[in-house]
Amino acid sequence: MCKLAHGNAMCKVVHGVQFASMAASIYTLVAMSFDRFLAVGYPLSTKHLRQPPAALRVVVGVWTASLLLAAPWIAVYTVRQYDLPGFLPFSVCADDWKAFGWHRPTGFLVLFVVDYAVPVASIGVLSGLTVSRLWATETIGDGGPAERQSVVAKQKVTKLIVVVVAVFAMCWLPSHVVWLWTSFFRSSWHHTYAFYYARIAAHVLSYANSCMNPFIYAFVSSRFRREFQRALVGRSQQQRRQSSSQLTARRHWTNAAGEQHQTVQRHRSQHELTRRRHTSAVYDRADQVLPVICLEEQADDVTVC
């Protein structure tokens, strides 16, 4: 008997987190599309709505709704025992709808509508309104460089929005197709490795959508690439400035110590030179006085020198 690690509690936690994070990821994209529409269509009148406190409230609301949407799936997923022909008995964390009297195809159809059809339609409508408002904005000019630059910028934004919406729809569609297929047409599929690998690939593609958006922005948006490069360059410059300041401080300390040593040596040299000059002067004066004494003593026939 192959048992599932950590039992029924871990089964519910894992699938609860999966469905909650799926809903949170999808409806975060919906919120971003709505924010983009407000920024393009009503930039001044909705400026107070596009601030960090409002963003925090949206995030809390999205995750609260996502946890509520995931609650039914936490209830239906449990550890089930399987005894298939040709296999040893094994335990699997799977959905059990009979325990609650629910209809499995209806549950996954509701999931498809709530977590795919409605968000995709919302993102599509908001993106379409954003693009229409963008192109409806009049450009002041007479066909000169400023107007052409404005048209190019609008084309880039339109391309970016279309690519984001298309990638989102394509990434999440395979998982919902698998769920609906296994719910409404159970007799048409079998427990094979090909189906298992296809199901895993669909799940990976769905959750990969969250990490694809930065790459999409990087390839499509030149402004995103420029700001990203500026952030990287700014960080490297900061590190270089810190290294340069440390090197400058080290050099300053070394120079200060060297200057102090040189000052001490210079004072010692000056003191030695002064002492030698003083001694030399004394000797010079002695040389000038002694001959006179010798001459005077020689005059008296006394030789002292």
| pLDDT band per the 50, 70, 90 thresholds, residue 174 | very high
Question: Quick check: 16 and 106 in contact, CB under 8 A?
Answer: no
Q: How far apart are CA 165 and CA 122, in angstroms?
A: 10
Tell me which residue range forms the domain holding 194.
Answer: 7-220
Over 50: is that where the pLDDT of 297 sits? no
Euclidean distance between CA atoms 18 and 231, whole angstroms:
33
Q: What is the pLDDT of residues 184-212, one digit of tens each?
A: 887 777 667 788 888 889 988 888 887 88
Say if 215 falls within a structural domain. Answer: yes
Instruction: Let me know if residue 62 belongs to a domain.
Output: yes
Confidence of residue 109 (pLDDT cuts 50, 70, 90): very high
Residue 122, pLDDT above cutoff 60: yes
Residue 97 CA, chain-centre distance (Å), reads 40
SS3 call for 103: coil
Write out the E strands in the chain: 77-82, 90-95
Contact between 112 and 173 under an 8 Å Cβ cutoff? The reply is no
Whether 218 shows a pLDDT value over 80: the answer reads no
Q: Is 302 part of a structural domain of the chain?
A: no
For residue 90, the SS3 value is strand
Instruction: Answer with the residue of higher pLDDT: 88 or 293.
Output: 88
pLDDT tens for 124-163 read 899 888 888 878 765 555 556 666 777 777 777 777 878 8
Q: pLDDT tens, 29-51?
A: 899 889 888 888 888 888 888 88
Backbone angles phi, psi at 77, to 5 degrees: -80, 130
In a domain, 239, yes or no: no
Q: What is the pLDDT of residue 254?
A: 59
What local confidence, expressed as pLDDT, does residue 273 receive? 59
Cα atoms in the Cβ-side hemisphere of radius 13 Å centred on 152: 10
Q: Is residue 263 situated within a structural domain?
A: no
**0.75 exceeded by pTM:** no
**What's residue 294's pLDDT?**
36
What does the pLDDT read at residue 289? 37
Q: Which of 71-85, 189-203, 274-288 has the lowest mean pLDDT?
A: 274-288
Please indicate, yes or no, if residue 303 is contained in any of the structural domains.
Answer: no
Closest C-alpha to 295, from 283, 305, 280 = 305
Q: Which residue has the higher pLDDT, 47 or 7?
A: 47
pLDDT of residue 258: 58
Task: Write down the mean pLDDT value for the chain.
Answer: 75
Question: Cα dist. 293→281, 282, 284, 286, 300 in Å?
Answer: 19, 16, 15, 10, 11
Is the model's pLDDT at 96 over the cut of 70?
yes
CATH number assigned to the domain comprising residue 38: 1.20.1070.10
> Is 194 a domain residue?
yes
pLDDT at 179 over 70: yes
More confident: 210 or 283 = 210
Other CB atoms closer than 10 Å to residue 232's CB: what's the count?
Answer: 10
CA distance 293 to 197: 123
> How much is the pLDDT for 69?
92
The pLDDT confidence band at residue 300, using thresholds 50, 70 and 90, is very low
Collapsed DSSP state (helix, strand, coil) of residue 80 = strand
- Count structural domains, the chain: 1
Task: Kindly tell me if the per-residue pLDDT of 256 is higher than 50.
Answer: yes
DSSP secondary structure of 256-299: HHHHHHHHHHHHHHHHHHHHHHHHHHHHHHHHHHHHHHHHHHHH
As given in the structure block, the two tokens for residue 146 are 């400023």
Tell me whether residue 294 is in a domain: no
CA angle (206, 70, 101) in 5-degree steps: 115
CB environment 247-265: b (16+ within 10 A), e (fewer): eeeeeeeeeeeeeeeeeee
